[in-house]
Structure 1
Amino acid sequence: MHIHIIGICGTFMAGLAVLAKELGFKVSGCDAKYYPPMSYQLQTNKIECFQGFDLANMKTNPDLWIIGNVATRGMPVIEKIISDKKNYMSGPEFLSKKVLNDRPVIAVAGTHGKTTVSSIITWLLECADIKPGFLIGGIPMNFGISARLGKSNSPFVIEADEYDTSFFDKRSKFLHYVADYVVLNNLEFDHADIFDDLDAIKMQFHHWIRTLGQNTVIYSNCKSNALDDVLSFGVWSKVKRFNDKQQLCLDWPHKNGESSFQVFNGINKLGFVDSPISGEHNASNFLVAYGIASEFGINFNQTVRYFKEFKGVKRRLELIAIISDIKIYDDFAHHPTAIKKTIEALRNTSRKKAGTVELNRLIVVFEPRSNSLKLGYGKQQLPDSFEAADIIHVYDGSVKWDVKSALSNLGQKLYVDNNVQNILQRLLSQVCRGDTVVFMSNGDFQGILQAFVEALGLKKFHR
């Protein structure tokens, strides 16, 4: 059977393509643009891809069209599919029917941290020889791929996204996932292009919880008032809390080190964790991942040992290179809260305070590319998000609001430009030995990171 995926280079659809091929389907697809890491994944798996959404796609003549939420009415290929009464369904529906059926499902939801938590859980289960399946919105570096079927009847870890399913199904994707274990990691307003406010997102989470069985176990973050609101609407499953002093909680940071923390179950100290990934938010991510792992008989000491070998996720605070004592990171952060937490994590690994001349600098290069930020939602939070950085470069070529005005509180450490080449040249003139540079975008940022790495390798620094 041949399936053709519309929007195949999205993080969800590229993973779905891998799963479908593993199931024995012939797989092809199309998208407007292809960029790493998903473009590499599709190429490695020899999945035929077409550029654009025009009628050339019809020549593939698949048995089933899988339509992503990037597709809209008016696209030539969509109009032809509907007019010709071709068979089609959404990606989440396909996943539910072809993969998740008859398997224990672990669904990880929340505004932030879904990819990292899903990756940690998957790795812990893998180390315990459970051989889970997974579909994650990024590429865990321990696996080198964003999706696999895993062992038959083993748990399947799915990143449960609240974004809508497709143009013909406006429910959140996670409503297709009948989960046995759920992580509710946090909840803030996002996706301003499809949700009017936070209450609208809460209602989608509530609708999902209404579909879950009495034996489903929900781990909810006690630090999120919004999640407490969701649960107050009604819950019929078992609820466990993390970041709750009566249940799973942590002591951050511990004096033993900046990435070291203690874990407690109520008043009982379970032990220390030396985290391979930075930041208090990642300590919390580990905490809930341990909770899920414990449901499968993995004890705390095993979890700590396995976690030490966790390599992180591509484009989640990924160290790309160290050139002339300059660390270069790539990060997917695009929500003000995620940006702030990422910068704080980097600050803890480079130095304690911003603005201290004798210590190394943290330089941020940011593209406000998410649909919410393009519309201006969250711009008021950005000055606080960037506060701990020493120099901030912002590309404003994709937004219609006044970036300089919105971020004026950042003063002279802010640089705004609508030309990526200008940003690159200014950055190269500023950077010094010992600096940390992080590029933040949920797209390819016109290749600026790769160009910077190449140019930096040619630059001569005075000792």
Structure 2
Amino acid sequence: MQLHFIAIGGSAMHNLALALHDKGYTITGSDDVIFEPSRSRLDAAGLLPEVEGWFPDKIDSSLDAVILGMHAKGDNPELARARELNLPVYSYPEFLYEQAKDKTRVVIGGSHGKTTITSMILHVMKYWNREVDFMVGAQLEGFDRMVRLTETNDFIVLEGDEYLSSALDPRPKFHLYRPNIALLSGIAWDHINVFKTFEAYTEQFRIFLDTIVPGGSITYNSEDAVLNTLVAEWDAPVRKFPYSTPEYRVVDGATLLETPEGELPLQVFGRHNLSNMAGAKWICQQMGVDEVDFYEAMGSFKGASKRLELLAKGSGNFIYKDFAHAPSKVSAAAAAVREQFPEHRIIACLELHTYSSLNHTFIEQYRDSLNGVDEAIVFYVPESLKVKGLQPIAPADIKKAFGRETLQVFTRTDALEKHLDDTPLQDTVLLLMSSGNYGGLDLEKLLSRVQ
């Protein structure tokens, strides 16, 4: 097949392009900007566009299909040319389904934990040399790509994102995969720029349940009240497998999981990660891995990239980075670090990086999310709201929303950097939570202080 990618430089898009290139397809692509690591990876495979920009003359009748990335706008000139020629145009998830429709599709969804659960499943499969196709949203240790597609593997494991598919397709991505085996980890309002109410957001998960193939299964977190009710009220010819957080204890900074074979020391920690592990176990068992083998493999699981990732470790001090930005994720990450390091001072530094996070209505969802730490810091850039034409939000508004008078709010990177420079880190755990980079914070300088 000859395929053209509009917005080939995206994190997911370039991985799909590389996977299809490995499969023997002829791939071309365009983008108006391509960052690392996409640029180097595409270049190494000979797929990097010679010039950045959109070029309608790249689109001709020799193409079998065009794949449209989320980054591309509806008025993209290459898209206009493809429509003029009546070429098939697929969103990223639509084309993934075309590649997966003859396989057993395992789809991992939920507002939080889906990347980690998908990563756990893939780690177990790799540990036992079981070949599966996959698509996951984070770089995994031991995997050079985030997408693998073959003609031979029976299973494909897909991270089921609830965000929209493309500029032309407003359906959430996970509505398109039609799982044989599905998992939902929980429901906590997110993507409020698209789903204006919690009810509208929750409805997307009900629709997802309806896409499960008859005779399939749903594995779900029974400790999530909203999800538990949704599944209980849903009637379909599908098997239901509830899971909950397993028994564990923390001893001298180590998390020990209770298993039928005895206590298992883990390299990840936090109640949310133990819950994720329980869900992953159910899925792996449905894929043919028994409980004992699952636990053996999980003993060496170090976590997904940017999910409570240890950046630096000294003599009694640590710096962790977590991708957390939604309220439920912030609360879970802070609680996990507090439980793992009960004798340490915990400093949590959260960047409100997404426009949803800085919405006057939504920000109330963060109330009490940082109450378990010793020092709480929030960073945001007011100018970014002006760029989007959004209502300004003041530091006082943020303090009030979080419900913490001692919350420190910074709006300039240099001021945050000076504060962290002046803060002693002995017997301290610094938890950095952001999907951004704090406006260009010198992270290497900060890490060098941990000894």
TM-score (norm 1): 0.84
Corresponding position of 1:266: none
Q: Which moved more, 1:34-43 or 1:213-222?
A: 34-43
CA separation in 2, counterparts of 1:365 and 1:50? 40
* Compared CA separation, residues 362 and 127, structure 1 to 2 (3 A): same
Corresponding position of 1:329: 320
Deviation at 1:80, TM superposition (A): 5.2
CA separation in 2, counterparts of 1:106 and 1:307? 19
Matches within 5 A, 1:413-432: 414-432=407-425
CA separation in 2, counterparts of 1:410 and 1:124? 41
Corresponding position of 1:319: 310
User: Of 271, 275, 278, which aligns to 1:287?
Assistant: 278
Does residue 306 (structure 1) correspond to residue 297 (structure 2)? The answer is yes
CA separation in 1, counterparts of 2:371 and 2:70? 35
Instruction: Determine if contact 1:251/1:262 at 8 Å carries over to the other structure.
Output: yes
Matches within 5 A, 1:66-105: 66-79=67-80, 81-82=82-83, 85-97=86-98, 99-105=99-105
Corresponding position of 1:386: 370
CA separation in 2, counterparts of 1:256 and 1:429? 29
- Once superposed, what is the RMSD of the aligned Cα atoms? 2.9
Matches within 5 A, 1:25-40: 25-30=25-30
Deviation at 1:94, TM superposition (A): 0.8
Instruction: Determine if contact 1:335/1:378 at 8 Å carries over to the other structure.
Output: no
Corresponding position of 2:329: 338
TM-score (norm 2): 0.86
Matches within 5 A, 1:450-461: 451-454=442-445, 456-457=447-448
For 1:443, what is the secondary structure of its paired residue? coil
CA separation in 2, counterparts of 1:129 and 1:146? 18
Corresponding position of 1:404: 396
* Compared CA separation, residues 28 and 386, structure 1 to 2 (3 A): farther
Corresponding position of 2:236: 235
One-letter amino acid of the structure 2 residue matched with residue 152 of structure 1: T
For 1:182, what is the secondary structure of its paired residue? strand
Matches within 5 A, 1:441-452: 441-448=434-441, 451-452=442-443
Does residue 107 (structure 1) correspond to residue 84 (structure 2)? The answer is no
Corresponding position of 2:430: 437
Corresponding position of 2:182: 182
For 2:174, what is the secondary structure of its paired residue? helix
For 2:249, what is the secondary structure of its paired residue? coil
Identical counterparts, % of pairs: 24
CA separation in 2, counterparts of 1:96 and 1:61? 23
Deviation at 1:185, TM superposition (A): 0.9
Corresponding position of 1:261: 257
Per-residue CA deviations over 1:411-448 (Å, capped at 9, x if unaligned) read 33x33222223212221121423332222222344442
* Compared CA separation, residues 215 and 73, structure 1 to 2 (3 A): same
Deviation at 1:283, TM superposition (A): 0.5
CA separation in 2, counterparts of 1:321 and 1:257? 16
* Compared CA separation, residues 314 and 65, structure 1 to 2 (3 A): same
Matches within 5 A, 1:7-22: 7-22=7-22
One-letter amino acid of the structure 2 residue matched with residue 116 of structure 1: T
Q: Which moved more, 1:102-111 or 1:142-151?
A: 142-151
Instruction: Determine if contact 1:27/1:48 at 8 Å carries over to the other structure.
Output: no
For 1:372, what is the secondary structure of its paired residue? coil
Per-residue CA deviations over 1:12-57 (Å, capped at 9, x if unaligned) read 32432232222223445455665566666556655415887x53x4
CA separation in 2, counterparts of 1:29 and 1:425? 43
Q: How many residues align?
A: 437
Deviation at 1:230, TM superposition (A): 2.9
CA separation in 1, counterparts of 2:32 and 2:374? 36
Deviation at 1:73, TM superposition (A): 2.7
One-letter amino acid of the structure 1 residue matched with residue 96 of structure 2: L
* Compared CA separation, residues 7 and 432, structure 1 to 2 (3 A): same
Q: List runs of 5+ in structure 2 lacking aligned partners.
A: 386-391
Q: Which moved more, 1:401-410 or 1:294-303?
A: 401-410
Corresponding position of 1:356: none
